A = this chain, B = another copy of it.
Amino acid sequence: MMKHANSDINLKNIIISDKFWNKYIKLVKEVIIPYQWDILNDRIENIETSHCISNFKIAAGEAEGEFHGAVFQDTDVAKWLEAVGFVLNFERDENLEKIADETIDLIGRAQQKDGYLNTYFTIKEPDLRWTNLMEGHELYTAGHMIEAAVAYYEATGKRKFLDIVCRFADLICNTFGNDENKIHGYPGHQEIELALVKLYRVTGKKEYLNTAKYFIDIRGQGENYFLKEEKSEKYKRIFPEFANYDTKYSQSHIPVRQQKTAEGHAVRAVYMYSAMADLADEFNDTELLEVCDTLWNNIVNKRMYITGSIGSSGLLERFTTDYDLPNDCNYSETCASIGLSMFGKRMANIKKDASYMDTVERALYNTLLSGIAMDGKSFFYVNPLEVWPENCMERTSKEHVKPVRQTWFGVACCPPNITRTLASLGQYIYFKEENQIYTNLFISNTTKTQINNIHFTLNLITNFPWENKIKFEITGEDETNAIFAFRIPNYAKNFQVKLNNKNVEYKIENSYAKLSGIFKNDVIEIEFDAPATFIYANPEVRADSGKVALVKGPIVYCLEEVDNGKNLSSIFIDTTQKIKCNFDSDLFNGSEVLELSAHKIKQTENNILYSDVKPEKLKTTVKAVPYCYWGNRKTGEMSVWIKEI
Q: How far, in whole Å, are A40 and B156 apart by their CA atoms in the complex?
A: 72
A302 touches B390 (CB 8 A): no
User: Using an 8 Å CB-CB cutoff, how does the interface string of A300-321 with B read, 1 for contact, 0 for none?
Assistant: 1110101000001111101011
Identify 11 residue pairs between A and B in the complex whose beta-carbon atoms are under 8 Å apart, listed by A's number: A300-B609, A301-B609, A312-B396, A316-B395, A318-B395, A321-B390, A536-B610, A537-B609, A538-B609, A545-B569, A546-B569
- A318-B395, A615-B539, A643-B545 known; A306 and B610 CB under 8 Å? yes
* Any B CB within 8 A of the CB of A575: yes
Residue of A246, A608, A612 contacting most chain B CB atoms (<10 Å): A612
* Smallest beta-carbon distance A522→chain B, Å: 35
Q: How far, in whole Å, are A246 and B395 apart by their CA atoms in the complex?
A: 8
* Smallest beta-carbon distance A151→chain B, Å: 34
* Any B CB within 8 A of the CB of A451: no
* Any B CB within 8 A of the CB of A627: no
Sample of 18 more A-B contacts, CB < 8 Å, known A539-B604, A546-B569: A246-B395, A300-B609, A301-B609, A306-B610, A312-B396, A315-B396, A316-B395, A318-B396, A320-B396, A321-B393, A534-B612, A536-B612, A536-B615, A537-B609, A539-B601, A539-B602, A540-B603, A546-B546
* Any B CB within 8 A of the CB of A510: no
* Any B CB within 8 A of the CB of A470: no
Q: How far, in whole Å, are A534 and B318 apart by their CA atoms in the complex?
A: 38
Contact-residue bracket for chain A: 35 or more
Name the CB-closest residue of B to A615: B539
* Smallest beta-carbon distance A573→chain B, Å: 12
* Any B CB within 8 A of the CB of A240: yes
User: Using an 8 Å CB-CB cutoff, how does the interface string of A602-640 with B read, 1 for contact, 0 for none?
Assistant: 111001111111110000000000000000000000000
* Any B CB within 8 A of the CB of A397: yes
Name the CB-closest residue of B to A612: B533
Q: Which residues of B contact A314 (CB under 8 A)?
A: 397
* Any B CB within 8 A of the CB of A541: yes
B395 touches A324 (CB 8 A): no
* Any B CB within 8 A of the CB of A391: yes
Q: How far, in whole Å, are A312 and B643 apart by their CA atoms in the complex?
A: 23
Top 9 closest pairs, chain A to chain B, by CB: A313-B396, A542-B569, A324-B391, A545-B569, A539-B601, A314-B397, A313-B397, A533-B612, A315-B397
Residue of A329, A395, A399, A570 contacting most chain B CB atoms (<10 Å): A395
* Any B CB within 8 A of the CB of A572: yes
* Any B CB within 8 A of the CB of A481: no
Cβ-neighbour of A535 out of B390, B535, B611, B643 (below 8 A): B611
Q: Which residues of B contact A610 (CB under 8 A)?
A: 306, 535-538, 549
* Any B CB within 8 A of the CB of A567: yes
Q: How far, in whole Å, are A538 and B606 apart by their CA atoms in the complex?
A: 9
Name the CB-closest residue of B to A312: B396
Q: How far, in whole Å, are A305 and B42 apart by their CA atoms in the complex?
A: 48
Cβ-neighbour of A613 out of B536, B540, B602 (below 8 A): B536
A399 touches B315 (CB 8 A): yes
Name the CB-closest residue of B to A396: B313
Q: Which residues of B contact A603 (CB under 8 A)?
A: 539-540
Cβ-neighbour of A540 out of B300, B321, B396, B567 (below 8 A): B567
Q: How far, in whole Å, are A572 and B240 apart by their CA atoms in the complex?
A: 46
Q: How far, in whole Å, are A143 and B607 apart by their CA atoms in the complex?
A: 36
* Any B CB within 8 A of the CB of A388: yes
Name the CB-closest residue of B to A606: B538
B546 touches A572 (CB 8 A): yes
A609 touches B302 (CB 8 A): yes
User: Using an 8 Å CB-CB cutoff, how does the interface string of A359-399 with B read, 1 for contact, 0 for none?
Assistant: 00000000000000000000000000000101101111111
* Smallest beta-carbon distance A327→chain B, Å: 11
Q: How far, in whole Å, are A267 and B611 apart by their CA atoms in the complex?
A: 26
Cβ-neighbour of A575 out of B395, B535, B614 (below 8 A): B614
Name the CB-closest residue of B to A546: B643
Q: Which residues of B contact A397 (CB under 8 A)?
A: 313-315, 326, 329, 397
Name the CB-closest residue of B to A645: B546
Q: Which residues of B contact A396 (CB under 8 A)?
A: 312-313, 315-316, 318, 320
Q: Which residues of B contact A329 (CB under 8 A)?
A: 326, 329, 397
Q: Which residues of B contact A533 (CB under 8 A)?
A: 612
Name the CB-closest residue of B to A543: B569
Residue of A312, A546, A567 contacting most chain B CB atoms (<10 Å): A546
Q: How far, in whole Å, are A240 and B239 apart by their CA atoms in the complex?
A: 12
Q: How far, in whole Å, are A251 and B608 apart by their CA atoms in the complex?
A: 25
A536 touches B320 (CB 8 A): no
Cβ-neighbour of A608 out of B301, B321, B607 (below 8 A): B301
Q: Which residues of B contact A575 (CB under 8 A)?
A: 614
Q: Which residues of B contact A601 (CB under 8 A)?
A: 539, 545
Q: How far, in whole Å, are A575 and B615 apart by their CA atoms in the complex?
A: 12
Cβ-neighbour of A542 out of B326, B388, B541, B545 (below 8 A): B388
* Smallest beta-carbon distance A525→chain B, Å: 26
Q: How far, in whole Å, are A317 and B159 apart by their CA atoms in the complex?
A: 56
Q: How far, in whole Å, are A188 and B397 apart by their CA atoms in the complex?
A: 22
A541 touches B609 (CB 8 A): yes
Q: How far, in whole Å, are A318 and B300 apart by their CA atoms in the complex?
A: 35
Q: How far, in whole Å, are A610 and B548 apart by their CA atoms in the complex?
A: 10
* Smallest beta-carbon distance A610→chain B, Å: 5
* Smallest beta-carbon distance A41→chain B, Å: 28
Q: How far, in whole Å, are A604 and B536 apart by their CA atoms in the complex?
A: 12
- A315-B397, A395-B315, A542-B388 known; A612 and B535 CB under 8 Å? yes
